[in-house]
């Protein structure tokens, strides 16, 4: 047999072995046996040096051709076997979608945030803009522009955290009244805004007072706005948050930035107006302050009180949450006890 015939025989045997095997390990053995240093191709190549010089190139290139053909066949077969192994694995690892799932703990808005979102959604639907104001505020906006000049005695009720003589942690969201009155262009239409946020006071913490709490400011300024509009707006909100069975009552009160001023009471959730310990036997619970915007406030912000006027209110959503869910201590909202907060999960 010539060397060329030897090589052809090696190729035929090799290709047949490759096509017959169905096992990756065996395929690797075939590769090592055929193409390795001790394999028949290597030794055939070594035999070339015994051939006459003129035959060497032709047989040499034939040997290379066969080696390439065999290694291509091995690579192809390897791919086929690997694909088959993967498919089998995938078929065996089929996921049972009927198994109960692992629940991961999912967060939710804080109960006070839920109340704020509800109020904001309602007023958005009534065409109000929603505005955010700075929690670190100037004395100028927090007090002076709200008709509370320095040394005004009503400042004491909101005595607060000062960062410097002129900068403080805001005590109310009312400074947003002055800020929006200054910038609103009345030629483009009435001013209707809601501004929720956190406020700070040097209040001693007790069951109904926290040194840090939330307010939602509301302001409507246009021509011919009356106190009836204020009452209708607050009644709509009360029905939305508490339900249609709840009524409101306006009581005369005092704020330097409104005239007339009112405190607004909502039907007691506990006795529905009959009178009980919770409402101190009045049938009502105070939830917010409101009134008709004082002409001085309009004047200072550059709005003519002879032409424009309207109402403002300041809601305490912490107190709303207490009323709505019968929580007797405001401090529970701020302790971050997950067992307490989970009771207000919207997902049930
Ligand atoms: C004000 O802060 C006025 N700026 C409200 C206002 C706005 C009146 C616009 C007129 C026009 P007052 O201090 O009463 O008012 O606070 C308003 C509401 O915030 C209260 O009804 C109560 O719900 C809540 N609130 C007040 N102090 C605290 C406190 N320490 N902790 C929790 N909630 C409080
Ligand atoms: Mg009050």
DSSP element (H, E) containing 215: strand 212-222
Q: Which domain holds residue 31?
A: 3-92
How large is the average pLDDT for residues 235-239?
A: 94
Same domain, 121 and 81: no
Is residue 348 included in any domain, yes or no? no
Same domain, 71 and 161: no
**Which residues 6+ apart lie within 8 Å of 49 measured at CB?**
56
291: Cβ below 6 Å to ligand 1? Answer: yes
210: Cβ below 6 Å to ligand 1? Answer: yes
Same domain, 84 and 127: no
- Confidence (pLDDT) at 193: 98
Count of Cβ atoms closer than 10 Å to residue 201 Cβ = 19
**Burial (CB count within 10 angstroms: exposed 0-12, middle 13-18, buried 19+), residue 328:** exposed
Q: Ligand 1, from 194, 211, 310, 314: best to mutate by most atoms within 8 Å of Cβ?
A: 314
* Strands, E assignment, 236-276: 248-255, 258-267
Same domain, 229 and 331: yes
Same domain, 131 and 204: yes
Same domain, 176 and 49: no
pLDDT band at residue 348 under the 50/70/90 scheme? very low
Is residue 267 included in any domain, yes or no? yes
How large is the average pLDDT for residues 172-185?
A: 97
| pLDDT > 70 fraction of the chain, expressed in percent and rounded | 99
pLDDT tens sequence across 12-69? 999 999 999 999 999 999 999 988 888 888 888 888 888 888 888 888 888 889 999 9
DSSP element (H, E) containing 138: strand 136-138
Same domain, 86 and 146: no
Residue nearest to atom 2 of ligand 1 (CA): 172
317: Cβ below 6 Å to ligand 1? Answer: no
Is residue 101 included in any domain, yes or no? no
Same domain, 22 and 165: no
- Transcribe 280-345 into DSSP letters: TTSSEEEEEEEEEEPHHHHHHTT--TTT-EEEEEEE-HHHHHHHHHT---GGGGGS--HHHHGGG-
Rounded distance, CA 57 to CA 344, Å?
Answer: 88
Rounded distance, CA 143 to CA 257, Å?
Answer: 9
314: Cβ below 6 Å to ligand 1? Answer: yes
Give the chain's domain count: 2
Same domain, 142 and 73: no
**Burial (CB count within 10 angstroms: exposed 0-12, middle 13-18, buried 19+), residue 163:** exposed
Angle (nearest 5°) at CA 156 between 144 and 143: 15
């Amino acid at each position: 047999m010539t060397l060329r015939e030897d090589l052809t025989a090696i190729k035929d045997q090799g290709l047949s072995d490759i096509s017959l095997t169905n096992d990756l390990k065996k395929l690797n053995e075939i590769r090592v046996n055929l193409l390795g240093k001790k394999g028949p191709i290597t030794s055939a190549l070594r035999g070339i040096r015994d051939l006459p010089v003129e035959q060497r190139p032709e047989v040499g290139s034939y040997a290379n051709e066969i080696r390439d053909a065999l290694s291509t066949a091995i690579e192809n077969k390897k791919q086929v076997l690997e694909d088959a192994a993967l498919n089998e694995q995938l078929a065996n690892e089929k996921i049972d979608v009927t198994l109960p799932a692992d629940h991961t703990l999912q967060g939710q808005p804080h109960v006070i945030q839920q109340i704020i979102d509800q109020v904001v959604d309602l007023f958005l639907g009534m065409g109000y803009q929603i505005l955010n104001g700075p929690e670190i505020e100037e004395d100028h906006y927090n007090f002076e522009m709200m008709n509370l000049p320095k040394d005004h005695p009503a400042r004491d009720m909101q005595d607060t955290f000062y960062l410097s003589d002129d900068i403080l942690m805001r005590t109310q969201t009312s400074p947003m009244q002055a800020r929006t009155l200054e910038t609103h262009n009345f030629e483009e239409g009435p001013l209707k805004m809601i501004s929720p946020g956190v406020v700070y006071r040097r209040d001693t913490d007790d069951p109904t007072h926290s040194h840090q709490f939330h307010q939602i400011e509301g302001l409507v300024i246009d021509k011919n706005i009356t106190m009836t509009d204020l009452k209708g707006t607050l009644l709509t909100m009360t029905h939305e948050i508490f339900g249609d069975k709840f009524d409101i009552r306006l009581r005369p009160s005092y704020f330097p930035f409104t005239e007339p001023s009112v405190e607004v009471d909502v039907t007691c959730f506990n006795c529905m107006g009959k009178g009980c310990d919770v409402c101190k036997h009045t049938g009502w619970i105070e939830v917010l302050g409101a009134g008709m915007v004082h002409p001085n406030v309009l004047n200072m912000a550059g709005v003519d009180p002879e032409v424009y006027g309207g109402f403002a209110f300041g809601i305490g959503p912490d107190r709303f949450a207490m009323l709505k869910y019968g929580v007797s201590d405001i401090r529970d909202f701020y302790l971050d006890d997950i067992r307490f907060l989970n009771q207000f999960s919207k997902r049930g």
